Amino acid sequence: MENIILFPFAEYWLFYVGFTTFVLLMLALDLGVFHREAHEVTFKESLIWSIVWISLALIFNFLFYKYAAWKFETDPRLLAIPGFDGEAAAKQVGLEFLTGFIVEKSLAVDNIFVFVVVFTFFAIPLKYQHRVLFFGIIGALIFRIIFIALGSILLQYGWTVILFGIFLIITGLKIIFAPEKPIDPEKNPVIKLFRKFFPVTPTIEGQKFFIRKEGVLYATPLMVALLFIEVSDIIFAVDSVPAIFAITKEPLIVFTSNVFAILGLRALYFMLAGIIHRFRYLKYGLGIVLVFVGLKMAWLNDAFGGKFPISWSLIIIITIIGASIFISLFKKEKSK
């Protein structure tokens, strides 16, 4: 049972196409209608969009569960498996999506810290930040698709599962115990390489990423900020994609939960940017979550007969993240 893919790509490729089309339409509606003109995103607007994206994810989760319940009770391939319980399997995949979404949403908070640093460093006005993040999200979606496709192939081999699990444990411990290092975009090797090919204007040129002056193509600070955000997301994806594969082995669930978490990232940034510094203990919670999902991949799943109970995983992850947020908000910081 644990080696069976419930949603094989060969049968669900049309769903992938339809879901991707829906995402592109939502993004087009976002930029082409609601943010056609550059403006400062208010807390109220970001709160509304956060509610919209989370609501869409939960609605999808419910419909996905209902579809799975129907499908698993009517699919001859699955019914032929001895001991297969369609209703239990449907609840399992529904909880896997919800758990994966929460994990990805929590890990995405790390991106917000980077956004704050980058926009401050390059002095990006608030009204242009949405445009940078919009194209950053598109790039993130493309790279996540690539990472998920590679992960679904690599994780078919048992040794890679253990290897990724150990990697997540080490990453989690590093987050917990290693001292924080300040982020300096100017020292990033990708940014240095980019500057060798494109001169950068000293000032913001409206919402343009490139401009041409006297026949020479210049990049603007918006483009440099976008490039750094893309590079940062690739680094974060190295942690987050294996983390969700520890929750579920279904590429369809990994893909959809990742996409919903990323789509709400911009709204979450504009809602939390002003108070993100208060979540000083959240990094410890994220580190513990990574250690936990790493243990799931490397040991716990095998120890529990091939699958650590998903309901336990959901409770453990929510408790860890909730506790780290609660402590951050209510524990007074010692004066330095």
* Integer Cα distance of 307 and 164 in angstroms: 16
Q: Would you say residue 233 lies in a domain? A: yes
Cα-Cα-Cα-Cα torsion 107, 113, 119, 121, nearest 10 degrees, comes to -140
Distances (CA, A) of 168 to 92, 144, 239, 248, 290: 23, 17, 7, 15, 6
What's the domain count of the chain?
Answer: 1
Q: Would you say residue 3 lies in a domain? A: no
Q: Would you say residue 108 lies in a domain? A: yes
Check if the beta carbon of residue 108 is closer than 8 Å to that of residue 265.
Answer: yes
Identify the CA nearest to 269 among candidates 148, 147, 118: 118
Q: Would you say residue 45 lies in a domain? A: yes
Q: Would you say residue 57 lies in a domain? A: yes
What is residue 324's predicted lDDT score, i.e. its pLDDT?
Answer: 92
The partner residues of 221 in beta bridges, in order of sequence, read: none
Over residues 240-293, the pLDDT tens digits come to 888 899 899 899 999 999 999 988 888 888 888 877 778 889 889 999 999 999
What is residue 168's predicted lDDT score, i.e. its pLDDT?
Answer: 92
Q: What is the DSSP letter of 205?
A: -
Over residues 188-197, the pLDDT tens digits come to 888 888 988 8
Backbone φ and ψ of 221, nearest 5°: -55, -25
Domain hosting residue 319, numbered range:
9-330
Q: Would you say residue 133 lies in a domain? A: yes
Q: Would you say residue 131 lies in a domain? A: yes
Q: Output the six-digit token pair for 188.
A: 């990033």
Q: Output the six-digit token pair for 319.
A: 């408790």
pTM of the model: 0.87
Low-confidence ranges of the chain (pLDDT < 70): 1-3, 31-38, 332-336
What is residue 335's predicted lDDT score, i.e. its pLDDT?
Answer: 46
Q: Would you say residue 90 lies in a domain? A: yes
